């Protein structure tokens, strides 16, 4: 067994808090048995405009061996809707960067400086991010 490394994580973002998500469904849709936790579906560090969070998405399954779909796993839709699959940035950050780049015509350097500063986004920027259909 390898010793665990200490220090900064791989993406150099240190989370401020942890959030654990369970699936919104509590019982099997086929047989009605209460779902049981099976494994951690994902663990990722997500940067949002409110701060940096560590997101744990727990996968649940039907423990009934007679159930028609025993290998089906249920995950949290909320956890999956926080950010794109292989990124560490939430949709609110991506929307802000898109707003700065394409509406305000800021350069990449200007956007980087704006994101690094502790100041809030300009008052003219209005974020309208919809999670419907994600």
Residue 124 pLDDT > 70? no
Going by their DSSP bridges, the two strands 36-47 and 52-61 should be labelled as antiparallel
Please write the tens of the pLDDT for every residue from 64-112. Answer: 888 877 788 999 999 988 888 888 889 998 999 999 999 999 999 998 8
Alpha helix segments (H runs only) across the chain = 77-80, 91-98, 108-116
Taking the C-alpha atoms of residue 59 and residue 79, their distance in angstroms, rounded to an integer, is: 11
Residue 123 pLDDT > 90? no
Residue 37 pLDDT > 70? yes
Q: What is the predicted pLDDT for the residue at 68?
A: 76
Residue 129 pLDDT > 70? no
Q: Rounded mean pLDDT of 51-66?
A: 90
Q: Rounded mean pLDDT of 34-53?
A: 89
């Amino acid at each position: 067994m390898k010793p665990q490394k200490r220090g900064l994580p791989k993406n150099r973002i240190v989370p401020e808090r942890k959030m654990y998500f369970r699936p919104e469904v509590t019982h099997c849709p086929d047989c009605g048995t209460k779902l049981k936790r099976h494994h951690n579906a994902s663990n990722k560090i997500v940067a949002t405009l409110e701060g940096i969070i560590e997101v744990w998405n727990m996968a649940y399954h039907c423990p009934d061996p007679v159930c028609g779909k025993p290998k089906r796993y249920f995950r949290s839709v909320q956890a999956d809707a926080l950010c794109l699959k292989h990124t560490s940035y939430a949709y609110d950050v991506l929307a802000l960067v898109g707003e700065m780049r394409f509406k305000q015509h800021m350069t990449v350097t200007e956007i980087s400086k704006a994101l690094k500063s502790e100041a809030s986004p300009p008052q003219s920027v209005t974020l309208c991010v919809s999670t419907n259909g994600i």
